[in-house]
Amino acid sequence: MELIAELIGKYKFDALFLIGGFEAFHAISQLRKARSQYPSLCIPFTLLPATISNNVPGTEYSLGSDTCLNELVAYCDKIKQSASATRRRVFVIETQGGRSGYIALLAGLSVGASAVYIPEEGISLQMLTADVMHLKEVFAKDKGQTRAGRLVLINEKASKTYNAKLIADIMREEAHNRFESRDSIPGHVQQGGVPSPMDRCRAVRLAIKCIEQLEQFGPKGFKKPEEIANDPLSSSVIGIKGADVVFSPMQQVEENETDWKNRRPTGAYWMSMKSIVDMLGGRPDYPEPVQNLEGLTAKDAKRGLLTH
């Protein structure tokens, strides 16, 4: 931190504009807290969230997540076409996203997944048993199109024990030749691809707003370091919340909206869609509540209630 403060002072930075994910969010937090010790850090900071995981607190949308979803859905569509052609085959696909289930859940909704496993909910033996029994029942009564292949999506951090290969092996063992199962890991394909139109347009619009925000602390505004440091919005994160584009003070977001342990926001608007994904996939209820790291039950997760 001492070296950073020295270089910022040496090169006379007027402001700092960061574009990045949770690491950039953490960096802004550290710089803000170090202002009292290093006067050269009393310049305006702002963060433009950009990560496929969509796990930056203070916003419902991070740049790159839409492009990632497009790539993942295209990948899943090809896998589903193969599964449908061979019939009676289940593919377990591992998605990225860190400890945020955003990518897995929205991709599951887009491709009609039979089940989606996410970190917010966790995985248990009861859950796996219910899903395997459901698939066995589906394929036992298959006729025509119902014999088509099925997809199961699992976030890379959904469990420390159950991964895509293990779940596929369990399903294969329990299927007793009624259906086959395979695992597939698209890996960093999800991080590539051509940026989507939504990501491009939002990147331009939000970046311009960030620069305008920083300019408020320029020559036409107040320039004294202590005045900048005392303004909550001198260290901020831009975000899309509902239909609004807002700047949130970093200190407020750090204290009220951040799950530091799991590197994600404390609340997730998209969790309310979990019950829709399960319903459309015909997924059964679990025999008993599934407890996750923060004490959230599967029933609560389906209602979209995230609590600590």
Question: Which CATH number characterizes residue 80's domain?
Answer: 3.40.50.460
**By C-alpha distance, which of 20, 5, 43, 28 is closest to 250?**
28
| 166 plus 104 within the same structural domain | yes
Would the pLDDT of 229 be above 50? yes
Q: How many domains does the chain have?
A: 2
Please check whether residue 114 lies inside any domain of the structure.
yes
Highest mean pLDDT among 79-88, 208-217, 289-298: 208-217
Would the pLDDT of 308 be above 70? no
| 226 plus 176 within the same structural domain | no
Q: Average pLDDT for residues 28-51, to the nearest whole number?
A: 94
Please check whether residue 68 lies inside any domain of the structure.
no
| 118 plus 90 within the same structural domain | yes
3-state secondary structure the chain: CHHHHHHHHHCCCCCEEEEECHHHHHHHHHHHHCCCCCHHHCCCEEEEEECCCCCCCCCCCCECHHHHHHHHHHHHHHHHHHHHHHCCEEEEEEECCCCCCHHHHHHHHHHCCCEEECCCCCCCHHHHHHHHHHHHHHHHCCCHHHHCCEEEEEECCCCCCCCHHHHHHHHHHHHCCCCEEEEECCHHHHHCCCCCHHHHHHHHHHHHHHHHHHHCCCCCCCCCHHHHHHCHHHEEEEEEECCEEEEEEHHHHHHHCEECCCCEECCCHHHHHHHHHHHHCCCCCCCCCCCCCCCCCHHHHHHCCCCC
Q: Give 150-187 pLDDT, tens digit per residue.
A: 899 999 999 999 999 999 999 988 888 778 888 999 88
Please check whether residue 284 lies inside any domain of the structure.
yes
| 33 plus 98 within the same structural domain | no
Residue 190 · residue 205 · CB < 8 Å: no
Percent of residues, the chain, with pLDDT higher than 70? 87
d(CA 126, CA 274): 18
- Residue-range definition of the domain harbouring residue 26: 2-63+195-265
**pLDDT of the residue at 301:** 46
Please report, as a single letter, which amino acid is at residue 18.
L
**By C-alpha distance, which of 308, 294, 300 is closest to 257?**
308
